[in-house]
Amino acid sequence: MNPGARLVILGKQGAGKGTQAVRLSRHYVVPHVSTGDTFRAAVRSGSEFGKRAQKYLEAGELVPDEVVIGVVRERLTHDDTTHRGFVLDGFPRTVQQAEALMEIVVPQGLDVAIDLEIDTRVVLERLASRRVCSDCGANYSVSDNPPRVPGICDVCGGDVVQRDDDTEAAIRRRLELYDHETAPLVDWFDERGLLARMDGMGSPDQVTERLVTEIDRRKKFRPR
């Protein structure tokens, strides 16, 4: 195994982005940087910052670019991420965020941006059964991947709940924003030779194996 990787995971809500991001971060021994988890944790903490983020999350709206970019810049300029790498999950979501990211990751750049592709019908089913640990953010699914003890996180023992923003209205809004703001990023990364379109169907293990094969192939051409 060859540790270290500099990855972006794109994909619609419910594509399995969060699940695969956690697995890839373990495989390559790099931090999983999830902007969604960061904002949810801030909301739970009740901080001033969290209070400002809350209204966007509940409505399924995007947090303003300057705010998100600031958070990511701060996180990606620590030693662990500059040396080993990162798995970015939920960022970038707009072209402005993508442009900022490419400046932040200079000089090493990215290995690859993975677009996890999935059928819209499957997405809605997955979102309806999606649950999350309210303490550590671990992802579960009541149909495919329930916690061993119902309602209790396998990792930390926290409460496993439905996300506040997994309401029908907020999901609809996030999918709409995905089409308008985030889908164009697929072409944006493709034009820069950084995109891998990957099939998100199948079991989590099958998808991880597929992704690792592609990432390793790309990494060979980007010695560090």
Of 12, 130, 131, 210, which residue is the catalytic one? 130
Binding partner of 100, given Zn ion, ligand ADP, none, CB within 5-8 angstroms per partner class: none
3-class DSSP state for residue 195? strand
Does residue 136 interact with Zn ion by CB under 5 A?
A: yes
Query: Residues binding ligand ADP: what is the number (CB under 6 A)?
Result: 17
- Whole-number Å distance between alpha carbons of 212 and 214: 5
Catalytic, 222? Answer: no
Does residue 36 interact with ligand ADP by CB under 6 A?
A: yes
CB-CB contact of 27 with 136 (8 Å): no
Question: Which helix (H) or strand (E) is 7 found in, with range?
Answer: strand 5-11
- Whole-number Å distance between alpha carbons of 206 and 144: 14
Does residue 152 interact with Zn ion by CB under 5 A?
A: no
Nearest to 194 by CA among 111, 99, 96: 111
The residue number with the shortest CB distance to ligand ADP is 36
Which one of 27, 174, 210, 219 is in contact with ligand ADP (CB under 6 A)?
174
- Whole-number Å distance between alpha carbons of 108 and 14: 30
Q: Residues 99 to 158: which contact ligand ADP by CB under 6 A?
A: none
Query: Residues binding Zn ion: what is the number (CB under 5 A)?
Result: 8
Residue 28, Cβ density class (10 Å: 0-12 exposed, 13-18 middle, ≥19 buried): buried
**Considering only 35-43, 54-62, 134-142, 184-192, which stretch makes contact with Zn ion by CB under 5 A?**
134-142
3-class DSSP state for residue 200? coil
Active site residues: 17, 93, 130, 163, 174
> Interface with Zn ion by CB under 5 A: which residues?
133, 135-136, 138, 153, 155-156, 158
Q: Which residues bind ligand ADP (CB under 6 A)?
A: 13, 35-36, 39, 56-57, 60-63, 68, 90-91, 93, 97, 165, 174
